[in-house]
Structure 1
């Protein structure tokens, strides 16, 4: 794997030195560059929607995903996701520096507090209202 990283780095340096990288970059139309950027952003957003419980797999071939956990978006993790999204949006609209970082950190702190109080646990078939990706807890070690 490390050898492939070195080879990749050498290829990129070679493309940059010869000017081929600029020609390739300029050959791609602006609309395609925008579409690629939007597609990557939507993919990352979709992962966040799934992890928050806003969107879940239905287990059917059509539609493959549905809104909420068992058709309901009334779960604490989903509400916390929407709250974090609103905090971040308000900070960004107000042009606060580090708005994304502040929004993520505030959502994380709120999630840890909510988990300490409500003890939701991980999402499973028996516990559909739990946390999707990982259960937010205070780490046992801050530095490892």
Structure 2
């Protein structure tokens, strides 16, 4: 990250620090941008919590994914073997997606109005120099 920041990259405030990390979580992933167009604007952003948004600990999700679970826990060590269907689901869901929580950004990309105004005024299309 130091190398990126030293070359003009920044992490948008919408996905920086405590906004996307719980206390004690590590910073494995990040989105950094280097903006040269003054119109660039991050609208919002966030972190997808896989166990809140996808593989939830609910009866509904356990029923939904039941057909995909193995009949029993393939764990060899009895100490770590899931002993209930709920425990097997909790373990199985960790095998389905990366442990890196995906980040997302919504970036304003609609510059139609200024583009059309520039063309209507006889100017060249495209962004104004920074």
Instruction: Give TM-score, length-normalised by structure 1.
Output: 0.22
Structure that is richer in strand per residue: 2
State the structure with more CA Rg. 2
Instruction: Give TM-score, length-normalised by structure 2.
Output: 0.24
Of structures 1 and 2, the one with the larger relative CO (CA 8 A, separation 6+) is 2
